[in-house]
Structure 1
C-alpha cells in the first residue's frame, strides 16, 4: 500500500514538472525565435522578444511592442504558433504530435493527461484529446470565416484571410494579441461582425473542454431521441451547470456595470449610440474576464470601471479550457460555502448534490495562493514605480496574473524590473491553476489521510 502511495506522489510531482518546464521551454524557444533578425522589421531587444513570448504562450496579451509593425511575416507566424501552443497547452500539443507521428501513448502519458484535464477515468483519453483538437480547429475555422467578411473587404483577399486566421486563433485561445496595429480593436468598436465573432470565440473557449464534451454528449442523445429535451439540463454534470450559470451571470453583471459606468465617458463610449454602447459594454465584459482585446481605451476607463475590470479579471473563465483567472467554479464554491455557513448547513450543496470537502479546500487554497502572488506582484511594482498611479498598477498586475492582457497603457512604459514581475505573474497565472490543482487535489499525499488527529476549536471572526 505504501509503495503505491509513494508512486502516486512521484507521478504527481513529475506531472507538475512536465507542465511547468514544458511551458518554460516553449517560452524560451519562442523568445529566441522572435529575437532573431528574420522575425523582425527592425532590431528588437531580447527582453521585449522574451516578454512577447511569455505573453503569447501564457495567452495573456500584455505587450511592450506593436506586433503589426515590429514582426515580419515569419515573426507573426511564430507568434501565432506560440499562441496556439499556449492555448491548447503543452500536453495537448504533445499528444497531437504523437498522434501525427502515430506514436503509441504510454500509460504514464495517459495518467498525465487525466490529471491535467481532471478526468475521472483513463478510458477514452485519446478519443477525448482528439475531440478537443478537432473542436478547437473547427471553431477557429468558423471564427476565421466570420472575420473574413470584414477583413477581406478591408485588407484584400490574401491579407484579409491571414488576419482572419490570426484573430480567430488569438480570440479562441484568449490570447488578446492582434496584428491590426496600435489601435487594436478600437477601430472595430462599432462593428457587429468583429465584436460578436470575438465574443463568441472567447465565451466558447472560456467554458472549458469538459463542458463542451458534456453538452455535446447530451445534445447528441437528444438528437438521437434517447433523451427528452426537457431533461437535458438535469443530465448535465454539476460542473457544467455551475460554469453555465456563473458565465451567464458574470457577462450580464459586467455588461450592465460597464454600460452605466462608461455611459457618459467621452473617452470610451460617451459618443456612441445606445445600441453601440450596449455592444461595447458586452464586449468589455466578455474580454475583461479572460481575453484582453481592447475595443475602448483601457487607460481612459473610469476608476470604478477599472475596479470592476479587476474583479472580472481575477475571477476569469472556467477550468479545462484556455481561460485564466482563479476560475468561475472556484469562486462559485466559495460562495456556496458561505451560503452553507449562513444557513447552518453542514456541507456545501449545489443542484441537489454535496460538494466534496477536498474540492472546497482546493478552492480556498487556489484563491489564497493566487491572491498572495497577486498582492506580492503589486507590491514589488509599486516599489519599483513610485510615481505610477496605484490603480493602473493593480489593473496591469491583475491582467497579468489572470492572463487577460488588458492594459491601462502602462506596460510599455514600465521599467525592465517591473516588466520582469509581469512576466512572472503571467507565467504563474498560466501554470498556477493546473499545478495547484495537482498539488491540492489530495492525490500527492494520500498517506496523510490515514491518520486522524484530535479535533480542536479556535476562535475566528
Structure 2
C-alpha cells in the first residue's frame, strides 16, 4: 500500500492530475467562503450545495446560478465570485505564476512545465515570458472594457457602484463567465450599443484565445497566420454570422423575445444572442421564451463553444473544424485529410472524434439522469438538455430551471461544469492508467464492417 508521500509524488508527476485537483481545490475553497454568513445579504448561510454550485459555476466560468447574484450576495460574496472567475478564466497555474511575479519569486521548472501543459505550448523555452504577456494582455483588455462600460453604468448606478459594475462585467465577459450584478443579465440594455458591443468584443477576444490574437498581431498578414488561427477565425466568423441570421429569422416576430424591438434592436439582439453561446452566458432577451427551434439551434452553438487555449468551453471550434474537414476528405476518397494546403495528422482527427464522442455521451447520460431526478418539476426534455449542454460547455444560458433543481440535480450539474472546464480528455489522461508494458509489436489486423 502506497504512503501519502508516494501518492503526492505520483500526482506531481502527472500534470493532468495537478490541473484536476488544482481546479477542485479552488472550487472547494470558494465554496467554503461562500457558505459563510458574511457572504449572504440575509446573514444566513446559503448552504454547502448551493455554495459549491456557485463556486463551481464561477471557477468553471459558466454563469449558471441557483440564487440571484445581484440580490443574494454581499460585496464580500461578489468579490469571491469575481476572483474565482478570474482564476478560472486564466487557469490555476497562470494565476500561481502571477502570484510569484508579484512577490518577485522565481518560477520553478515544475511550474513552467505545468504552465506549458495548461497553455498547450509545445516548447518550455519562453513559457515565463508568454505567461507575462497573457497576464498583461488580459488585464489591459479587461481594463479597456471596464472604461467603456463605465460610461453607461456610472450614469445608471453612480460613480462608485458604476465603476465596480463595469469592472465586474468586463472580467465576467472576457472570461466568458456570464455572471451579472444587474439581476436579469443584459435585458435592460438590449438596444444599448455601448454595452452590447463592448461585451461582445470582450467575449469574442476571450473566446478566440491569446495565441490567435498574438498570431494576428505578430503576422501582420492574414496569409501568414498558422492553420490553427485560420481555422479558429473562419469557424468563429461562420458561426457568428449564421447564428445572427438564424436567430433573427426565428425570433423576429416572437413577442416574448425581440418581437417588440426596433429593427436595429433586433439586429443587435440577434448578434448578441448568437455570440453569447460561444460561451459567455449573458442574454439580452429572455432565453426561456425562445421558440423550440431557436433553443435547439442555440444548443448546437453552445456545444461547439469557443476555441482552444481560451476562456471558452464546449468541444471547441477547431474540433468541429477538423471533424468536418476529415469527413469531407473521406467522402471525396482522399487518404490524407487536407485543408488550406496543409495535412492534418491522423492523431488529431482521432482526438477530435474522441472528444466529440465522450462529450456527446456525457451530455446524454447527464440529461437522462436529470430527467429522472427532476421529474417532479415537469420540465420538457429540451429544457433539461439545454441546461445540461449549457453547463458542460460552460455557457451559463438557462431556460429558468437551475434555481429549482433538487440537491441531487445541483450536484450533477456541478460535476458537469467541472468536467466541461477541465476538459473530458484531461480527466481521461489524469485517471486512466497507461500501459507501461508496451512492447515493439503489433497485433494482426481484424476487419470490422462500418456503416
Q: Does 1:201 align with 2:199?
A: no
Taking the aligned partners of 1:444 and 1:281, their CA distance within structure 2 comes to 47
Shift, 1:433, TM fit: 4.8
The number of aligned residues is 439
Q: How does 1:379-390 map to 2 (within 5 A)?
A: 379-386=368-375, 387-390=378-381
Q: 1: CA distance between counterparts of 2:272 and 2:51?
A: 29
**Cα distance in 1, alignment partners of residues 364 and 269 from structure 2:** 30
Tell me what 1:212 maps to: 213
Q: In the TM superposition, what whole-angstrom CA distance separates every residue of 1:55-106 from its partner, at most 9, and x where no partner exists? A: 0001000001011111111111111101100111111111111222222222
Per the alignment, residue 25 of structure 1 pairs with 25
1:401 aligns with 2:392: yes
Query: Which SS does the other structure have where 1:184 is aligned?
Result: coil
Q: Is the 8 A contact 1:362 1:437 kept in 2?
A: no
Aligned partners of 1:18, 1:79: CA distance in 2, in Å?
A: 23
Alpha-carbon contact 2:190-2:284 (below 8 Å) kept: yes
- Contact 1:30 1:78 survives alignment (8 Å): yes
SS of the residue corresponding to residue 453 of structure 1 reads coil
Instruction: Say if 1:117 and 1:433 are closer, same or farther in 2 by CA, change over 3 A.
Output: farther
1:420 aligns with 2:431: no
Matches within 5 A, 1:31-42: 31-42=31-42
User: TM-score, normalized by length of structure 2?
Assistant: 0.93
1:349 alignment partner, SS class? strand
Please say which of residues 202-211 and 382-391 is displaced more in the overlay: 382-391
- Tell me the equivalent position of 2:16: 16
Could you tell me how far apart the structure 2 residues matched to 1:351 and 1:449 are?
A: 37
1:12/1:439 contact within 8 Å kept? no
The residue matched to 1:299 in structure 2 has which SS?
helix
Which deviations, in whole Å up to 9, do the C-alpha atoms of 1:150-169 show, x marking residues without a partner? 00111111110000000000
Deviation digits for residues 314-341 of structure 1, max 9, x if unmatched?
0000000100000000010110110111
**Counterparts in 2 of 1:13 and 1:242: CA distance versus 1, 3 Å:** farther
TM-score relative to the length of structure 1: 0.92
Assess if the C-alpha contact under 8 Å between 2:63 and 2:395 holds in 1: yes
User: CA 1:104–1:175 in 2, change beyond 3 Å: closer, same or farther?
Assistant: same
Q: Identify the residue that residue 112 of structure 2 maps to in structure 1.
A: 110
Instruction: Report SS of the residue matched to 1:291.
Output: coil
> Hey, what's the Cα distance between the residues in 1 that align with 2:318 and 2:361?
20
Distance, in Å, in 2 between the alignment partners of 1:11 and 1:235 is 40
| Preserved CA contact (<8 Å) 1:334 1:364 | yes
Q: Tell me by how many angstroms 1:402 deviates.
A: 0.4
- The 1-side partners of 2:140 and 2:81 are apart by 21
Matched, 1:129 2:131: yes
Check the 8 A contact 2:419/2:427 in 1, yes or no: no
RMSD: 2.0
Deviation, structure 1 residue 45: 2.1
Aligned to 1:64: 66
Q: Secondary structure at the match of 1:346?
A: coil
